[in-house]
Amino acid sequence: MGDKVFKSSCKMCHGGCGVLVYLEDGEIVRIEGDKESPLNRGRMCAKGRASLEHLNHPDRLRYPMKRAGERGGGKWERLSWDEALDEIAGRLQNIRQEYSPESIALGQGTGRRHFNYVVRLANALGTPNWCEPGCAQCFIPRLNTSVITFGEFFVCDYYGEVNPACILVWGHNPLTSGPDGELQFPLRDSLKRGSRLIVVDPRRSETAEKAELWLQLRPGTDDALALAMLNVIIGDDLYDREFVDNWTSGFEELAERVEAYTPAWAEEITWVPAEKIREAARLFATSRPATLEWGVAVEHTPNCFQTCRALAMLPAITGNIDVPGGWVCGTRPIGFFPFLAENLSNEARDKRLGGDTYRILGGNGAIMPAAHAPTVFRAMRTGEPYPVKAFLVFGNNTLSTYANPREVYASLMNLDLLVVTDIYMTPTAELADLVLPAATWLEADGLQAFPIAADLHVLAQQKLASRWECRQDEDIMIQLAQRMGLEVGTEPLREVLDRQLEPLGLTFEELKEKGHVSPPLRYGKYKEMGMFLTASGKVELCSQMLERLGYDPLPYYEEPPESPVSTPELHEEYPLILITGARIAHFFHSEHRQIPFLRRKHPEPLVEIHPEMAEHLGIVEGDWVYIETRRGKITQRARLTDTIDPRVVSVEHGWWFPEEKGPEHGVWKSNANLLTDNGPPYDPAMGTYQLRALLCRVYPAETGDAGGEHLSETGTPIESGLNKGGYHE
């Protein structure tokens, strides 16, 4: 079992389930869920149980390396850390001097421990240009929507004494994803306690299987459905009149806007029967308390911001804001992270790529200002509006996680300096000038506070192992700032952690002993303050801020730019509607496909097709098929299922094949992003482009042309990795 036990938080996804790590003779021998953790309550997903394989995997990057031949040629020279950091610092200084600080861009993956430190390093360098795949496509649109509408970010209350009477899950499958521990286990517990469940999803997902009402909409029409539900709630006088009259502004304008968005109108657009729309709206409005669990799917069209706005108004006008079991905003138990945003001059902020156009993403309306990723890649490739010459990537397989990866590839190939910090050699790392070996979560210290779990739970993540010459990302950034002689961003990691914990009266060492802290949740805070934290002091249904920035202050419907309606001629050539990005429980985006325990559970990329459509196309279960859009073609194995509409197919995202030879590692075979584009039209506020509801066709693949040809007949991937400990099944 182990002679010492330490509390920590797992980071095999961007969640943070509480875990117990057992050590014997200084080595980790076992990891299991912490029953005292308020998030996962002792349970773990498959990814967490694979942490030891991840830690000890023989294919991990072990020491810094420098490219020794042509970019992407696969020839490397080993460096010491001092040599690597000195070279990176020197080359960055040269670029800053020859061009300007904004010619350096930073990139990262989704919401990991080092997320804030990447933003911090960018600010310390004096560049406004940092990005990640989800800034305009995942969570940030929901965050900005909530803050602009309410002044705070609101989430579901699964943790108080009052259970939600109704949970509306929209564009989300939390029983499988999103991330696993933060929402999966609390949602399961709420359903066991009697919550009624409404699910909006084109797929009959694991969560939809448990729903009292499942609304199977046409992909990309979430805005129409939300507006129709608002129409019912207002038209049938089901809204909370006391809350609306006293605590909202713009209700009359909203009522006028949604008057034309009737359920009958929405049925034609969304495929959801009008009566079912009415039933869902009435159930949500008459259940007290009710709460909304929204997911990333609503952020994948060029109208994502107004879609999020419409959704946020459902709990708002029904009075389910800051009440037990409703939508709540947690306390702020830890201090403000030192982003060093003040280090950016106004001139530098004004040069943020895309910030002048997409002002809620990167301009003066942004909550967490970021650059517009397609504009950054374009600047790398074309030098317009100014050249981006260096890209520092922390924990992101850029070629598999951004839309239009062939254009991204051309952009990366045009850089003067590409530095990739990662755990494994990915297709993106293969293109780098320098590669730095990153630590896994078991080799890193950090804090985990939860903005999607009411921000009430703060967990410590602590370094309990060390492998090869791997270093945690934060330390690499701090050491780089020190090497460059930057005025800020150079203090040791522990100093930052201790400073954040000062409001709790704890040091990081003390939090490690506790494992986690959970300050009590307080409700009705807006009543205590006498206001919401918006310009009007009220919930802004009609937003003053949006109007001031030149955007529509009210939500509206917009047909996806590529659809059977918008592009009927293209629909004749590509007759199916494509969903990209349905989560796989055993992986996290493009991660973990080299871990045998997880790959055995899900060895191949799968495309879901309805049996009726498969028969029409001459496809049987298990066939390798082509999925093709006007942008590209990939192969995945057919999985026939009646959980999807015959007019819709769903492909998995993030696929590459670590067991295949570099530099490509199969990234061009089954990568869903080859089917997508990062071009306009963009969401006017967020710069979001269309990732779902695209048009495609599917047909049998040619013999031998399979994304998984590297696998055995049984689908078992190449065995590798060391497992020094057991799994808590």
- Whether 344 and 323 map to the same domain: the answer is no
Tell me how far apart the alpha carbons of residues 352 and 347 are, in angstroms, rounded to a whole number.
Answer: 9
Residue-wise pLDDT tens digits, 105-116: 999 987 777 888
- Summarised one tens digit per residue, pLDDT across range 10-57 is 888 888 888 999 999 989 999 999 898 877 888 888 888 999 999 999
258: CATH: 3.40.228.10
Q: What CA–CA distances, in Å, run from 707 to 61, 98, 107, 438, 626?
A: 25, 44, 28, 28, 10
Same domain for 626 and 689? Answer: yes
Q: Look up the domain containing 171 and give its range.
A: 151-330+527-548
Asked if 635 contacts 624 with a C-beta cutoff of 8 angstroms, the reply is yes
pLDDT at position 456 is 58
pLDDT at 330: 66
Give the tens place of pLDDT for each residue, 560-618. Answer: 999 999 999 999 999 999 999 878 888 888 889 999 999 999 999 999 999 999 999 99
CATH code for position 622: 2.40.40.20
Same domain, 589 and 681: yes
642 assigned to some structural domain:
yes
Residue 41 lies in a domain: no
pLDDT digits 0-9 by tens, 623-647: 999 999 999 999 999 999 999 999 9
Q: State the pTM of this model.
A: 0.93
Residue 129 falls inside a structural domain:
yes
CATH number for the domain spanning 125: value is 3.40.50.740
**Could you tell me if 318 and 173 lie in one domain?**
yes
pLDDT at position 728 over 80: no
Verify that 293 and 389 share a domain, yes or no.
no
My answer on whether 447 and 538 are in the same domain is no
How far apart are alpha carbons 544 and 539 in whole angstroms? 11
Kindly list the distances between the CA atom of residue 702 and the CA atoms of 45, 634, 705, in Å, as whole numbers in the listed order.
Answer: 37, 12, 5
Percent of the chain with pLDDT over 70: 94
Pairing, β 76-78 against β 65-67? antiparallel
Is residue 36 a part of any domain in this protein? no
Q: How confident is the model over 521-560, as pLDDT tens digits?
A: 788 999 999 999 999 999 999 999 999 999 999 999 999 9
The answer, yes or no, to whether the previous bond of 202 is cis (omega within 30 of 0) is no
Residue with tokens 């773990």: 44
Q: How confident is the model at residue 291, as a pLDDT?
A: 96
> Does the structure show a pLDDT above 90 at 684?
yes
Q: Are 421 and 394 in contact (CB under 8 A)?
A: yes
CA angle 483, 484, 489 (to 5 degrees): 90
DSSP state, residue 176: T
Residues 72 and 190 in one domain: no
The runs of H, that is alpha helices, within 436-514 are 473-483, 493-501, 508-514
Residue 724 pLDDT: 29
CB 355 within 8 A of CB 371: yes
At 331 the pLDDT is 62
Q: What pLDDT is attached to residue 450?
A: 64
Enter the DSSP assignment of 182.
I
Distance CA(311)–CA(226), nearest Å, equals 6
Is residue 309 assigned to a domain? Answer: yes
Phi, psi of 85 (to 5 degrees): -65, -40
Q: What is the mean pLDDT of the chain?
A: 91
- 339, 420, 434 from 390: Cα distances, Å: 21, 11, 12
Between CA 606 and CA 602 the distance in angstroms is: 9
Torsion sign across C-alpha atoms 706, 709, 713, 716: negative
Out of 172-181, 232-241, 487-496, which region has the weakest mean confidence (pLDDT)?
A: 172-181
Q: Mean pLDDT across the stretch 652-659?
A: 95
Same domain for 125 and 160, yes or no, is no
Do 175 and 318 belong to one domain? yes
Q: Do residues 260 and 118 both lie within one domain? A: no
- Do 155 and 130 lie in a common domain? no
Domains in the chain: how many in total?
3
- Looking at the predicted structure, is the pLDDT value of residue 252 above 50? yes
Confidence of residue 131 (pLDDT cuts 50, 70, 90): very high
Q: Is residue 662 pLDDT above 90, yes or no? A: no
Tell me the average pLDDT across 82-96. Answer: 98
In a domain, 176, yes or no: yes
Q: What is the pLDDT of residue 188?
A: 86
Share of the chain above pLDDT 90, in %: 74
From 488, 518, 548, give the residue that closes a domain: 548
Residue 557, in any domain of the structure: no
Does any domain span residue 414?
Answer: yes
Estimate the crossing angle of helix 222-235 against helix 304-317, to 10 degrees.
Answer: 30
Q: Which backbone phi and psi does 21 adopt, to 5 degrees?
A: -110, 120
Q: Are residues 594 and 691 in the same domain?
A: yes
